[in-house]
Structure 1
């Protein structure tokens, strides 16, 4: 999910940790716990530093090894020891380890539930996992946890039981969204006549979803509004020719192919050569495919350059 939500959930995990009498009674341990859960909630996304080495490196690294099964155990060790040393709470280092593990695990779990995906089962598989249940920012979860923090500040009381309720509602909400997602997928399958792979992704609105259907020959994209299913665009799959194959030599295309799942390729000719456009149809929006790689080649099919990333404004959908 987004950075702000992860930091907020780190704060509410501290409130939950105050069920331990020693955390609620010791201001120094409380500060150490707050630091531990907030940093732990953000730690898997430290891989965004790879952006300085270019977008291709970022795509290869982001939500990969830092979100893997071994990372669930490495992050607590990396973070708990310096935090215990900084605050002088060595006697409670085990408690810090446990709550950092919870913070990291909750981060990875939430990322698994959205549409971008995460390689959370590495090293057993590098396959991208995504449950397509939650958007990158969920207004309900943010409001729920922010409301809990405001109540905590206003009341000044031990928030342990309050956040037991908050996390119980969180679990129930995610379960309801998951069940709703299954119903929407079934509805789209029932109303459309295509044989293929169906993927339905959430939006900010509870009853608005968008889908991609991949068949042998085409991609169909569309919306679900309540019970209404509508196909918006059709993208015909084009055969890979020698020009498309030549574009695979670029680092950007190699990184794209490691991540993308619904791949559409198009090739156009110009006065100076060719442009090959690789797109991931999962992230369509408003009749456009904004995520992918554009590779420029000359008439001899030699790569002259490429651009990789989002062809949209930072504040424009889709938010993944």
Structure 2
């Protein structure tokens, strides 16, 4: 999910920790736990610094090793040990480490529920896993946790019971979104009469979704209030020497490492070719905003390649 949501959930996890008597009755330990959950809720995204190297490196590595199975064990101790020493709560190291682990696990779980995906089962599997249940930013969850945090900050409530209710409602909300996702997948397959792979991308709004269904071609459209509407149909990728010539570029290699449903468009120009690789998961309103554009001359030499999004950060899709 987005950075703001991860940090908010880190703060509310610290409120949930107040259910432990030793945390509730020790301000020093409570501050240590708050520091651990705030850092733990963001730690898996420390790999974002690799973007300084190149965007291709970012696409290849983001949500990879830092979100993996070993990371679940490494991050809590890497954070918990210095925090326990800094706050002088070494005797409560286990408490600090376990709450840091809760923050790390919750971060990875939320990313898994998103449509972008995460390599959360490395080193057992290098596949990208995504459950497509939540959008990058979920207004109901943000409002729920934000309201609880404000009440706690102004001293209006005891944090433990309040955040127990907040997290119970959070898991109920996620379960509803998961049930809704399964229902919409069935509805889309029945509507199209196809047995291929159906991928649903949630939007910010509870009953608005976009989809594609891939077998012999890609169907893109929307599901709003239970109504399926096909907006675009794309043929599967074609084989052409110009397309093959782009496979060695760093941008295309990074893209294919991450992308799962690939559409290729070849455009011939007077001075050469433009090959556009696109990930069909991120279709929105007749556009395919994520991919790589490769320009070639008439001899199929690569002139340039550009990897990334062709949309504003605040525009859909929210992944």
Q: Verify same fold: TM over 0.5.
A: yes
Residue in 2 that maps onto 1:192: 192
Residue in 2 that maps onto 1:246: 245
Is the Cα–Cα contact under 8 Å of residues 212 and 221 in structure 1 kept in the other structure?
yes
Residue in 2 that maps onto 1:83: 83
CA RMSD of aligned residues (A): 1.0
1:16 aligns with 2:16: yes
Residue in 2 that maps onto 1:318: 317
1:297 aligns with 2:296: yes
Residue in 2 that maps onto 1:176: 176
1:146 aligns with 2:119: no
Structure 1: 4+ residue segments shifted above 4 A: none
* DSSP 3-state at the match of 2:5: helix
Residue in 2 that maps onto 1:220: 219
**Which ranges in structure 1 are unaligned for 5 or more consecutive residues?**
none
Give the Cα–Cα distance (whole angstroms) in 2 for the partners of residues 249 and 222 of structure 1.
32
Give the Cα–Cα distance (whole angstroms) in 2 for the partners of residues 288 and 57 of structure 1.
25
Tell me how far 1:227 sits from its aligned partner.
1.7
Give the Cα–Cα distance (whole angstroms) in 2 for the partners of residues 46 and 101 of structure 1.
16
Residue in 2 that maps onto 1:29: 29
* DSSP 3-state at the match of 1:232: strand
* DSSP 3-state at the match of 1:264: strand
Is the Cα–Cα contact under 8 Å of residues 24 and 158 in structure 1 kept in the other structure?
no
* DSSP 3-state at the match of 2:317: coil
Tell me how far 1:194 sits from its aligned partner.
2.5
**Number of paired residues?**
319
Write the deviation string for residues 93-141 of structure 1: whole angstroms up to 9, x where unpaired.
1101100110000000111111001111111111111111110000111
Residue in 2 that maps onto 1:39: 39
Write the deviation string for residues 181-203 of structure 1: whole angstroms up to 9, x where unpaired.
10111111111123311111111
Tell me how far 1:148 sits from its aligned partner.
0.8
Write the deviation string for residues 160-181 of structure 1: whole angstroms up to 9, x where unpaired.
1111111111111111111111
Q: Give runs of aligned pairs for residues 50-89 of structure 1, distance below 5 A.
A: 50-89=50-89
Give the Cα–Cα distance (whole angstroms) in 2 for the partners of residues 132 and 319 of structure 1.
11
Residue in 2 that maps onto 1:281: 280
Give the Cα–Cα distance (whole angstroms) in 2 for the partners of residues 226 and 35 of structure 1.
42
Q: Give runs of aligned pairs for residues 85-164 of structure 1, distance below 5 A.
A: 85-164=85-164
Give the Cα–Cα distance (whole angstroms) in 2 for the partners of residues 142 and 60 of structure 1.
29
Tell me how far 1:157 sits from its aligned partner.
4.5
Is the Cα–Cα contact under 8 Å of residues 13 and 103 in structure 1 kept in the other structure?
yes
Write the deviation string for residues 15-65 of structure 1: whole angstroms up to 9, x where unpaired.
011112221222221111111000000000111101001011001110111
Is the Cα–Cα contact under 8 Å of residues 204 and 318 in structure 2 kept in the other structure?
no
Give the Cα–Cα distance (whole angstroms) in 2 for the partners of residues 135 and 156 of structure 1.
31
Write the deviation string for residues 64-102 of structure 1: whole angstroms up to 9, x where unpaired.
111111100000111111111111111111101100110
Q: With the length of structure 2 as denominator, give the TM-score of the two structures.
A: 0.98
* DSSP 3-state at the match of 2:154: helix
Give the Cα–Cα distance (whole angstroms) in 2 for the partners of residues 204 and 156 of structure 1.
30
**Which ranges in structure 2 are unaligned for 5 or more consecutive residues?**
none
Is the Cα–Cα contact under 8 Å of residues 296 and 304 in structure 1 kept in the other structure?
yes
Write the deviation string for residues 193-226 of structure 1: whole angstroms up to 9, x where unpaired.
233111111111111111011112x111000011
Give the Cα–Cα distance (whole angstroms) in 2 for the partners of residues 36 and 196 of structure 1.
44
